[in-house]
Amino acid sequence: MIPVDKAVVARIEKAGNQFEILADPEKMAEIRAGKKLDLDEVLAVDRIYHDIGQATAASDDDLKKAFGTTDFYQVAEHIIKHGEIRLTTEQKRKMQEEKRRKIVDYIARNAVDPRTHTPHPPKRIELAMEEAKVHIDPLRRFSDQVQEAIEKIRSILPLKIETITVIARIPGQHAARAYGVLKRYKITKENWQSDGSLSVTIEIPGGMQTELYDVLNKATHGEVETKILERR
């Protein structure tokens, strides 16, 4: 179950009664889009209500009459898929801002300017989204909206989703420490030499190139050699 303060009301009217649940709005949107999720990860309460604000629980008789079952999960899933998701103005604003930040962060980390192969600063991406009038829907799936945002701002900001493969050669005195911080990235190959030095191949999103170099330089006091093997 998710915390109540992160949940919103979903409701439906059936058989002359109103039925309500509390659940995670984004995960409800994912279920509506066809994704299979464990409802225990979606719901905030394990009861069906007529009115959550008044704590009026629905009886088994009312559930049976409206849904043909008293099974909590079956009823909750029906409400999620076919009911109305209610957001307050503040909830909607907060969710829109949070999703906007996630979209900006995703683009900054995964996309580059195809002319220079360097990432765009987040502020530049935010301004392009404003200029392109990218609308953020708090209840639509993140994956759908980030692709839509990329398509809309491409006419303003040259973008390419890029993955790069980098090889780093690290002297022995820094190898253990550097390897420890590199484990947060996708290491595709590593080769430890007899003198303790390390040659490691890493695959990262294009927008994270600067971050990787900063991490390596900090871990090795600048004593690292890097080379881009592939861009795709």
User: What pLDDT is stored for residue 91 in this prediction?
Assistant: 80
Report the mean per-residue pLDDT for the chain: 93
Tell me: pLDDT of 90 over 90. Answer: no
Locate the domains of the chain by residue range: 7-86, 89-160, 162-231
Number of residues that make up the chain: 232
The CATH code of the domain at 162-231 is: 3.30.70.240
Q: Which CATH superfamily is domain 89-160 in?
A: SBDS protein C-terminal domain, subdomain 1 (1.10.10.900)
Tell me: pLDDT of 33 over 90. Answer: no
Q: Residues 157-173: pLDDT tens digits?
A: 999 999 999 999 999 99
Tell me: pLDDT of 37 over 90. Answer: yes
Q: Token match 């905030």: residue? A: 44
User: What pLDDT is stored for residue 139 in this prediction?
Assistant: 80
Mean pLDDT of 49-70: 95
Mean pLDDT of 51-74: 95
Rounded to whole angstroms, how far apart are CA atoms 176 and 10? 51
Mean pLDDT of 20-47: 91
Q: Name every residue whose Cβ is closer than 8 Å to that of residue 39 and which is 6 or more positions away in sequence.
A: 73, 76, 77
Q: Token match 């708090």: residue? A: 138
Task: Of 6-15, 69-78, 89-98, give the lowest mean pLDDT range.
Answer: 89-98
User: What pLDDT is stored for residue 124 in this prediction?
Assistant: 96
Tell me: pLDDT of 18 over 90. Answer: yes
Q: Name every residue whose Cβ is closer than 8 Å to that of residue 130 and which is 6 or more positions away in sequence.
A: none
Tell me: pLDDT of 89 over 90. Answer: no
User: What pLDDT is stored for residue 104 in this prediction?
Assistant: 97
User: What pLDDT is stored for residue 30 in this prediction?
Assistant: 85
Rounded to whole angstroms, how far apart are CA atoms 85 and 62? 21
Tell me, which fold does domain 7-86 have in CATH? 3.30.1250
pTM higher than the cut 0.85: no
Mean pLDDT of 35-49: 94
Mean pLDDT of 35-41: 93
Q: Residues 188-205: pLDDT tens digits?
A: 999 999 999 999 999 999
Q: Name every residue whose Cβ is closer than 8 Å to that of residue 119 and which is 6 or more positions away in sequence.
A: 108, 109, 111, 112, 113, 206, 207, 208, 209, 210
DSSP one-letter string for 42-77: TBS-SS-EEETTTTEEPPHHHHHHHHS---HHHHHH
User: What pLDDT is stored for residue 131 in this prediction?
Assistant: 96
User: What pLDDT is stored for residue 94 in this prediction?
Assistant: 85
Give which of 172, 147, 176, 168 is closest to 217, Cα–Cα: 168
